[in-house]
Structure 1
């Protein structure tokens, strides 16, 4: 998966604090897309989930 989608301002801020690079945003619809620079492992998914971030992994940019 190359992209991590989040749908809240709070989750966006947490992702930025964890060092993820913001690729695209649609703040009118509360969607932020971050680059997953490496192949995400279960440890990476756990790190994001343990930070309390709700996210969706995707291979595609949808907007």
Structure 2
């Protein structure tokens, strides 16, 4: 989805999560965790695996995930 460097968001709908949610763990590796605002309520949370050039989807749904409420 993105070709730019990890630190840059490709659109205003992409946001790096903050605080304890800024990183997530997948397969024992800590990775940056980002959010994509699909709609006003819809969200996709994903991890960026720069080594494998892969995104790992953590959450996709309507509304904010319960972890941020």
TM-score relative to the length of structure 2? 0.33
Instruction: Select the structure that is richer in strand.
Output: 2
Larger radius of gyration: 2
- Which structure ranks higher in relative contact order (CA pairs < 8 Å, sequence separation ≥ 6)? 1
Instruction: Select the structure that is richer in helix.
Output: 1
TM-score relative to the length of structure 1? 0.35
